[in-house]
Protein backbone atom coordinates (compact mmCIF):
# COMPACT_ATOMS: atom_id res chain seq x y z
CA UNK A 1 0.00 0.00 0.00
CA UNK A 2 2.81 2.41 0.87
CA UNK A 3 4.51 1.61 -2.43
CA UNK A 4 1.37 2.62 -4.34
CA UNK A 5 1.12 5.87 -2.38
CA UNK A 6 4.76 6.58 -3.18
CA UNK A 7 4.18 6.00 -6.89
CA UNK A 8 1.15 8.31 -6.80
CA UNK A 9 3.19 11.02 -5.08
CA UNK A 10 5.96 10.68 -7.68
CA UNK A 11 3.49 11.03 -10.55
CA UNK A 12 2.42 14.58 -9.64
CA UNK A 13 4.81 17.53 -9.95
CA UNK A 14 3.94 19.23 -6.68
CA UNK A 15 4.29 16.03 -4.64
CA UNK A 16 7.22 14.42 -6.48
CA UNK A 17 9.78 15.58 -3.94
CA UNK A 18 7.67 14.15 -1.12
CA UNK A 19 7.40 10.92 -3.14
CA UNK A 20 11.18 10.68 -3.33
CA UNK A 21 11.38 11.18 0.42
CA UNK A 22 8.73 8.55 1.16
CA UNK A 23 10.39 6.16 -1.30
CA UNK A 24 13.75 6.66 0.38
CA UNK A 25 12.18 6.07 3.79
CA UNK A 26 10.61 2.83 2.55
CA UNK A 27 13.95 1.70 1.15
CA UNK A 28 15.58 2.40 4.51
CA UNK A 29 12.93 0.28 6.25
CA UNK A 30 13.34 -2.57 3.74
CA UNK A 31 17.13 -2.38 3.98
CA UNK A 32 16.96 -2.49 7.76
CA UNK A 33 14.70 -5.56 7.61
CA UNK A 34 17.01 -7.33 5.15
CA UNK A 35 20.02 -6.47 7.28
CA UNK A 36 18.26 -7.85 10.36
CA UNK A 37 17.47 -11.13 8.60
CA UNK A 38 21.08 -11.46 7.45
CA UNK A 39 22.46 -10.67 10.92
CA UNK A 40 20.20 -13.30 12.51
CA UNK A 41 21.38 -15.88 10.01
CA UNK A 42 17.83 -16.87 9.16
CA UNK A 43 16.75 -17.68 5.65
CA UNK A 44 13.99 -15.71 4.00
CA UNK A 45 13.16 -15.52 0.33
CA UNK A 46 13.06 -12.25 -1.51
CA UNK A 47 9.54 -11.10 -2.35
CA UNK A 48 10.81 -8.07 -4.21
CA UNK A 49 9.07 -7.60 -7.55
CA UNK A 50 7.05 -10.83 -7.13
CA UNK A 51 7.61 -14.26 -5.66
CA UNK A 52 11.11 -15.66 -5.87
CA UNK A 53 12.97 -18.65 -4.52
CA UNK A 54 16.13 -16.55 -4.15
CA UNK A 55 17.07 -16.04 -0.50
CA UNK A 56 17.81 -12.56 0.78
CA UNK A 57 21.49 -11.70 0.58
CA UNK A 58 24.01 -8.90 0.46
CA UNK A 59 23.12 -8.28 -3.16
CA UNK A 60 19.75 -6.98 -1.97
CA UNK A 61 21.50 -4.53 0.31
CA UNK A 62 23.61 -3.37 -2.64
CA UNK A 63 20.50 -2.98 -4.80
CA UNK A 64 18.79 -0.92 -2.11
CA UNK A 65 21.90 1.24 -1.68
CA UNK A 66 21.86 1.96 -5.42
CA UNK A 67 18.16 2.84 -5.30
CA UNK A 68 18.72 5.06 -2.25
CA UNK A 69 21.49 6.91 -4.06
CA UNK A 70 19.16 7.48 -7.02
CA UNK A 71 16.48 8.86 -4.68
CA UNK A 72 19.06 11.08 -2.97
CA UNK A 73 20.25 12.38 -6.34
CA UNK A 74 16.64 13.18 -7.24
CA UNK A 75 16.15 15.09 -4.01
CA UNK A 76 19.47 16.91 -4.43
CA UNK A 77 18.70 17.76 -8.06
CA UNK A 78 15.25 19.14 -7.34
CA UNK A 79 15.07 22.89 -7.26
CA UNK A 80 12.18 24.80 -5.70
CA UNK A 81 10.88 25.73 -9.16
CA UNK A 82 10.90 22.17 -10.46
CA UNK A 83 9.43 20.86 -7.22
CA UNK A 84 6.53 23.25 -7.68
CA UNK A 85 6.13 22.43 -11.34
CA UNK A 86 6.96 25.98 -12.48
CA UNK A 87 9.62 24.85 -14.94
CA UNK A 88 7.06 23.53 -17.43
CA UNK A 89 7.23 20.45 -19.65
CA UNK A 90 10.16 19.82 -21.94
CA UNK A 91 9.09 17.05 -24.37
CA UNK A 92 12.67 16.00 -25.22
CA UNK A 93 13.68 15.79 -21.56
CA UNK A 94 10.48 13.90 -20.76
CA UNK A 95 11.18 11.38 -23.54
CA UNK A 96 14.80 10.83 -22.48
CA UNK A 97 13.97 10.57 -18.78
CA UNK A 98 11.10 8.18 -19.54
CA UNK A 99 13.41 5.94 -21.58
CA UNK A 100 16.08 6.00 -18.85
CA UNK A 101 13.44 5.20 -16.23
CA UNK A 102 12.20 2.18 -18.18
CA UNK A 103 15.74 0.84 -18.68
CA UNK A 104 16.64 1.35 -15.02
CA UNK A 105 13.38 -0.26 -13.88
CA UNK A 106 14.08 -3.30 -16.07
CA UNK A 107 17.58 -3.58 -14.60
CA UNK A 108 16.31 -3.30 -11.02
CA UNK A 109 13.56 -5.85 -11.60
CA UNK A 110 15.99 -8.35 -13.15
CA UNK A 111 18.77 -7.56 -10.65
CA UNK A 112 18.85 -11.05 -9.09
CA UNK A 113 19.15 -12.68 -12.50
CA UNK A 114 21.91 -10.28 -13.57
CA UNK A 115 23.88 -10.95 -10.39
CA UNK A 116 23.52 -14.70 -10.97
CA UNK A 117 24.99 -14.31 -14.47
CA UNK A 118 27.90 -12.13 -13.37
CA UNK A 119 28.68 -13.94 -10.11
CA UNK A 120 27.71 -17.60 -10.64
CA UNK A 121 27.92 -19.83 -7.60
Reported as a single tens digit per residue, the pLDDT across 48-78 is 766 667 788 888 898 889 889 888 888 887 7
pLDDT digits (tens, 9 = 90+) for 91-101: 787 788 778 88
Q: Is the pTM of this model over 0.75?
A: no
Band (pLDDT 50/70/90 cuts) for residue 84 is very low
Nearest CA to 74 out of 54, 92, 58, 97 is that of 97
Q: CA-based angle 72:63:14, to the nearest 5? A: 35
What single-letter DSSP state applies at residue 13?
G
Question: What are residue 53's phi and psi, to 5 degrees?
Answer: -90, -5
Residue 40 pLDDT = 92
Amino acid sequence: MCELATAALLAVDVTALAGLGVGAALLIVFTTAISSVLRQGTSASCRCFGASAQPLGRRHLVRNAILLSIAAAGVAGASPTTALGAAGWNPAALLVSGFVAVVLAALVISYDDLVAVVLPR
